[in-house]
Amino acid sequence: MRTRREFLQKITYSAMVLPLLPSWQFGSPHIDSEPYEGPVLRVAIMGLGGYGTRVAEAMKACKKAKLAGVVSGTPAKVKEWQSKHQIPEKNCYNYENFDDLKDNPDIDAVYVITPNALHHDQVIRAAKAGKHVICEKPMGLNAKEGEEMVQACKDANVKLLVGYRMHFEPKTLEVVRMRQNGDFGKILFFQGQCGFRIGDPNQWRLDKTLAGGGSLMDIGIYAVNGARYMVGEEPIWVTAQEMKTDPVKFKEGVDETILFQLGFPSGAVSSCLSTYNMNHLDRFFLNGEKGFAEMQPSTGYGPIEGRTHKGKLTQQHITHQTLQMEEMASIILEGKEPVIAVDGEEGLRDLKIIDAIYKSCHTGESVKLV
């Protein structure tokens, strides 16, 4: 297995051996059957790799969002996407000239789906071009970058959203609803396990210059973010430990496995694992005084499977990226408030925790979060 996205796709296929609605076999059903005549968010995807392709395909089922342009450094990919998605030449850009988006009224937003180290500059450039920005997670390499990205979008009066697709996933939202409703009672503990055995040692995810780290920046961010929305609080301290069994593959600054613990104001704690060296890890567990929730797979492309002390979670699966783009269009166009935030401030909170995790790994000490 080579990448997180292959891992997430594989666990998707594993889950799909369970009985499913027929429409799931062919992509996402529409959000509803009612005709839609309102505004549509016209999106340019920046980065035409595997995940960009997945988002583009998922958007075909959207009513409020559509693919309107592309940004890529590979001319052959641009031509392929032009033909496949009927994208006009005037809506196609490369990494050198995409600042010209400022003069293109046919594109409302740019979805940045490039290696982590490129996010900062590309988001700021897109914002200065006057376009709303959706950025894949992690939003930046560290909190300093995140703060600059948030400020640039504020200065340009555009929205900055982060690709937290799980924030719109129906079973995840049901667990959050139950927690908010008091069904679990006082929250005591959260466990997040996120990992797979990564393959190709030459890929960008194992290059600190492009990735900014290792497993934590890639798969571990699901546990960082999940701990926050499952517990429903912001952590106040972090402890963490790093283990490395293959220093050749996982060079200096590229983490293989990290265990980290978070403490919350209420007294709840979380224990999480992020790894590039163990397969079959995609599980969330939430424990409260009155009940529990368990999800496995918890963050794969779906269907998500889960249960609580009240029984199995049965909410319908909708392709995550379809639902994400539909909801993000509502946020940008209509000012809709999501149940779980997906804005730049949300991305910044995760980056501050990631900074603290790395600091704790290096110092061996607990790090306070403010």
pLDDT, tens digit, for every residue of 312-360?
999 999 999 999 999 999 999 999 999 999 999 999 999 999 999 999 9
In this predicted structure, what is the pLDDT of residue 3? Answer: 72
Handedness of CA 175, 338, 222, 227 (dihedral sign): negative
Beta strands of 20-165 (E only): which ranges?
A: 41-46, 65-71, 92-93, 109-112, 132-135, 160-162
- pLDDT 10s digits, 232-287: 999 999 999 999 999 999 999 999 999 999 999 999 999 999 999 999 999 999 99
Choose the catalytic residue: 137, 159, 171, 352: 137
Query: Rounded to 5, what percent of the chain is helix, strand, coil?
Result: 40, 20, 40
Cα separation of 246 and 356, whole Å? 24
Choose the catalytic residue: 51, 93, 222, 358: 222
Tell whether the model's pLDDT for residue 25 goes beyond 50.
no
Average pLDDT estimate for 155-181: 98
160 HSE (CA, 13 A, CB side): 31
More reliable by pLDDT, 86 or 2: 86
- pLDDT 10s digits, 283-313: 999 999 999 999 999 999 989 999 999 999 9
Q: Among this protein's residues, is 137 annotated catalytic?
A: yes
Say how far residue 15 (Cα) sits from the centre of its chain: 20
| C-alpha R_g of the chain | 20
Confidence of residue 29 (pLDDT cuts 50, 70, 90): very low
Tell whether the model's pLDDT for residue 31 goes beyond 80.
no
Handedness of CA 332, 133, 176, 359 (dihedral sign): negative
Average pLDDT estimate for 74-96: 98
3-state secondary structure of 321: helix
Domains and CATH numbers, the chain: 18-163 (3.40.50.720), 166-316+344-368 (3.30.360.10)
In this predicted structure, what is the pLDDT of residue 167? Answer: 98
Out of 9-23, 197-211, 291-305, 312-326, least confident range: 9-23
